[in-house]
Amino acid sequence: MPRLHAPSKDDSRLLPPFAALPERCIHVPATDAEFAAARAALMAAPVLGFDTESKPLFHVHQTDTGPHVVQLATCDQAWLLQLHHAQARALAADVLASESICKAGFGLDHDRSALPARLGVALHNVIDLDRVFKRHGYASSVGVRAAVALVLGQNFHKSKKISTSNWAAPQLSLAQRHYAANDAHGAAMVHAALPAWEQRQPAVAERPSRPARPAPEPRGPGSSSGPRGPRRAHAPREQEPPREPHVSHEQHVSHKPHEPHEPHAPRESSAPRSSPRPSRTPRLLQAPVTPGKPSPG
């Protein structure tokens, strides 16, 4: 399947604006009564849009203490849980650990590891919507802005300045509240409209399954480990004709009559020499001379 490209920021600006939540629909609980109302609403919701915010790190040696805010939203309301409140941590832990509540968001790989360490619970029934779009041929990280453009046909605006603000502050600014609420609300709206959008998409081609490998043959003790393919059948060898009995050299010589050796012919020189070599005269053997006796004549 060819890789598809999500709408760019310039493409999104041509669309009508995303219908953001009004201020009255954004809840930041701080009192016991507000936390009780938030718990009743969140634990009864079947599906929630989900996102987190953390204080940015500007130096290498800074310690990451986030996430600092957990935002959860339905299609008409949002709750921002500031985790410096003990009641906020308890409520966030109960919602995220619930198997009956579906939590849908974008780019949740970091949250899957950071939140269990922060809240002390495992996350259940969490859907990363980026993976849904990846199945349809889009990049691994689509994000809420491009997803809103694809599914809802609207322009989702995100401020870089607000995203890098201090999310660990005791009081969130108005801009921070709207930014965090819209992230969770956008995920909830995309998740609600996703089934109809998927029906309009071409069928996802399944990858062909690989053929099963043949079962390895049983091997005896002492053989090397590891899978082994089927053995190749060898053709039967042709029977060779019987060889003559071997006769040793002594036996072979004893049966042959003695033949006189013929003298070898002298080898001719390949090239004539410039001058013949002088012949050597044989030395005469003389008898030893005894002192006092004349030598024979």
47 three-class SS: strand
Give 257-281 pLDDT, tens digit per residue: 455 555 555 555 555 555 555 555 4
Contact between residue 45 and residue 76 where contact means Cβ atoms under 8 Å apart? no
State the chain's mean pLDDT as an integer: 82
Contact between residue 63 and residue 196 where contact means Cβ atoms under 8 Å apart? no
Instruction: Region of 140 please: left (phi>0), alpha (psi -120 to 50) or beta.
Output: alpha
Handedness of CA 210, 211, 212, 216 (dihedral sign): negative
In our burial notation (b when 16+ CB lie closer than 10 A, e otherwise), range 91-128 reads: bbbebbbbeebbbbbbebeebeebbeebbebebeebbb
Give me the pLDDT at residue 264, please: 55
Sequence letter at residue 4 = L
Give me the pLDDT at residue 206, please: 59
For residue 220 the two structure tokens come to 């005896």
Neighbours of 21 (CB within 10 A): 20
* DSSP summary character for residue 150: I
Domain edges within the chain: 9-57+65-199
Low-confidence ranges of the chain (pLDDT < 50): 249-250, 252-257, 281-282, 284-287, 289-290, 293-297
Give the orientation angle of helix 32-43 with respect to helix 86-97, to 10 degrees: 10
Which alpha helices (DSSP H) does 101-199 contain, by range? 109-119, 129-135, 143-147, 160-163, 174-199
For residue 89 the two structure tokens come to 């941590």
Give me the pLDDT at residue 56, please: 87
Domain 9-57+65-199 in CATH 3.30.420.10: yes
Neighbours of 14 (CB within 10 A): 9
Give me the pLDDT at residue 242, please: 60
Give me the pLDDT at residue 145, please: 96
Give me the pLDDT at residue 65, please: 85
